[in-house]
Structure 1
């Protein structure tokens, strides 16, 4: 399953049940992306960023004040060192991947996302761990059968090597079924006042070119449903629903674009419905439409969204802490002293 698809599933489950929570870690290493950090690490709980590290600042920092209550006093100093080691490991992994694809230069990324989700009603839990290279699937952990699965021939050697390490596989199982869930519950406890809030979306309807854009913004949590209807019937065709995107202030935004002819728009009754757990469904119709005016759109929020998107979208990753010396080329494994996947404390 694609990494983006995993994120979509998590978002949908959270909206439907209202009790599915997730802890996710994203690391990304890139090459030849000018004016941008070559390594980024991000931790998120229910879509809210809780920590950040990048190769420019070289410091692991909290993004929410309450996170400090959930960790020990030495957490940031200790794990800044871990993140710096991971940065070097990821940089090496980019070079290794390029070698496997016979590439000598250009823009490339090694990506990985891992974490867990937990339903506080049914108590069901699951974990996920996926790697990508240049936006394509690379490796994924089959937690049920406890094995790594390669999706490309260039990662077969890594798959075979990791599957032969039974001790590591058992530690992964323990992490995803126990430790990750425990940390998720701890973060939910300390961040309850922030993550338990519900902020109602602001919805607008406007025309842009040949499309009619239904836009919702300023909502929290991130699960929202935008539905276009024609004469009261939900539409599946002619509608493009965008991804849920972060705003600079910690809220989210999303849009759904309807493409119909001017004659259809005039002769039919079209409505857009925005459903969010913060309140009643918002319904917009022709009377609410506004002509978009690019010159009137404030630049501040746009810049904030772009920055947040770059940090999160490019940072779909998790990696290794230390390079083992005197090893043949291959993705580096975590040093046993700092088991990246075994305790979230060590990112």
Structure 2
């Protein structure tokens, strides 16, 4: 069984003038032939750059971020220095957590998500700082009370080895958010047009076998503010939309399933898949038709593997496609163990 560790999708604003800068850092223990440390910088869910303990250097991921570091080489040097210094800290945290939680050998993952958000119209700003361990929420910093909370463990933050002194926490908030906002504003100057674009998706109907649900799969769209659903006779059916996933080119993909075993053949014409993208008036509607379904159980059906495979390549470049890791899920704003068949990558693996 493979489990994915994809980037968190936590903040979705109704306006294109709201920006989020996120730093996602992960340390691993017990994973062989895999980086002990990884770091990803994201702006509005698009990867700015990446580094890990194997490469030992930070690398920009987009044309605009490459231009930024070309104009600001000190920024690339700063991220590279952070990439070299963080592994020791994470190694110590994981070692301490294993002792406190009475854990033996095995695979363990510590994740740290922090950053800021900024509305350049209202000038409202905010920050966030949280940790996850082995697929569960570990610690969250309450920005209002300036205290660490432990959502699921019956332990205090200090017992886990975290500094809880209010003065230290306030300094951490002020310094980290202030610096984050400075970076974010600079990045927006380079990425503004890229982030404010609108790309419509390619929509396909996919099916693994004649008894499998039909998956309506949309890929290549931007921004990430989108919904998909099936409807019958114009009425929306119960949503079973899968998690939204990033493509390697900065666009996104998602899918929604329909159990056709409950649908009579003569009723197929009554069903259609609807994709709605924020800021676009026209919906993309795909009717349920047998001739439109692509599957590998029929020779020559032509399953569109290009974009989905691109997702795998993109995730590998991010070093986040890891056997045994976890998804920080958008829908519950926290860490949760999620099986591989909840993502579009399962379709790619089984239909090629």
Please give the range of the TM-score, normalised by the shorter of the 2 chains.
0.7 to 0.9
- Mean CA deviation greater in 302-311 or 139-148: 302-311
Paired residues for 1:3-14 under 5 Å: 7-10=8-11, 13-14=12-13
Question: Could you state the TM-score of these two structures normalised by the residue count of structure 2?
Answer: 0.77
Alignment of 1:305 with 2:303, yes or no, is no
CA contact (8 A) 1:23 1:45 kept: yes
Aligned with 2:263: secondary structure? helix
Which residue, 56, 59, 78 being the options, matches 2:57?
A: 59
Q: Is the 8 A contact 1:28 1:316 kept in 2?
A: no
Corresponding residue for residue 50 of structure 1: 48
Q: 1:119 deviation in Å?
A: 2.9
Alignment-derived partner of residue 181 in structure 1: 181
**Residue aligning to 1:106:** 106
Paired residues, what number?
Answer: 307
User: Could you report, residue by residue, the CA deviation over 1:52-75 in whole angstroms, capped at 9, with x for unpaired residues?
Assistant: 111111111211243343673233
Structure 1 residue 148: Cα displacement: 0.8
Give yes or no for contact 1:139–1:155 (8 Å, CA) kept in 2.
no
Q: Which moved more, 1:240-249 or 1:212-221?
A: 240-249
1:225 matched to 2:227? The reply is: yes
Q: SS state of the match for residue 139, structure 1?
A: strand
**Hey, what does 1:135 align to over in structure 2?**
135
Structure 1 distance, partners of 2:23, 2:326, is 9
Cα deviation per residue 1:79-137 (whole Å; 9 max; x = unaligned)? 31222110121122222211122222111101111112223344333211110110001
Say if 1:148 and 1:162, in contact at 8 Å, map to a contact too.
no
* Separation in structure 2 between the aligned mates of residue 58 and residue 224 of structure 1, nearest angstrom: 36
- CA separation of 1:291/1:82 partners in 2, compared to 1, >3 Å: closer, same or farther? closer
1:272 corresponds to 2:278: no
Structure 1 residue aligned with 2:294, among 287, 291, 295? 291
Number of the residue aligned with 2:163: 162
Detail structure 1 runs of 4+ shifted over 6 Å in the superposition: none
Secondary structure of the corresponding residue to residue 171 of structure 1: helix
Which deviates more from structure 2 when the two are superposed, residues 304-313 or residues 186-195?
304-313
Distance 1:55 1:7, change over 3 A: closer
1:339 aligned residue: none
Q: Given the superposition, is the C-alpha separation of residues 298 and 263 from structure 1 closer, same or farther in structure 2, using an over 3 Å criterion?
A: closer
Cα distance in 1 for partners of 2:61, 2:241 equals 29
CA–CA distance in 1 between the matches of 2:225 and 2:206? 22
Distance 1:158 1:266 in 2: 63
User: Does 2:199 correspond to 1:199?
Assistant: yes
Give the conservation status (yes or no) of the 8 Å contact 1:147–1:169: yes
Asked if the contact 1:200/1:218 (under 8 Å) is kept, the reply is: yes
Secondary structure, counterpart of 1:163 in structure 2: coil
**C-alpha deviation, 1:255, in angstroms:** 0.5
What residue is the counterpart of 1:33 in the other structure?
31
2:256 matches 1:256? yes
SS in 2 for 1:30: strand
> Which sections of structure 2, spanning at least 5 residues, go unmatched?
329-352
Q: How does 1:7-26 map to 2 (within 5 A)?
A: 7-10=8-11, 13-14=12-13, 16-26=14-24
Name the SS for the 1:90 alignment partner.
helix
Alpha-carbon separation, structure 1, partners of 2:254 and 2:204: 11
Q: Aligned residue for 2:171? A: 171
Give the secondary structure class of the aligned counterpart of 1:137: strand
- Shift of residue 246 of structure 1? 1.7
Instruction: Report the counterpart of residue 342 of structure 2 in structure 1.
Output: none
Asked if structure 1 preserves the Cα contact closer than 8 Å seen for 2:21 and 2:184, the reply is yes
What's the CA shift string for 1:195-227, capped at 9, x where partnerless?
222221111123443312111001122222112
Is there any run of 5+ residues in structure 1 with no aligned partner, and where?
318-347
Deviation at 1:274, TM superposition (A): 0.7
CA contact (8 A) 2:245 2:252 kept: yes
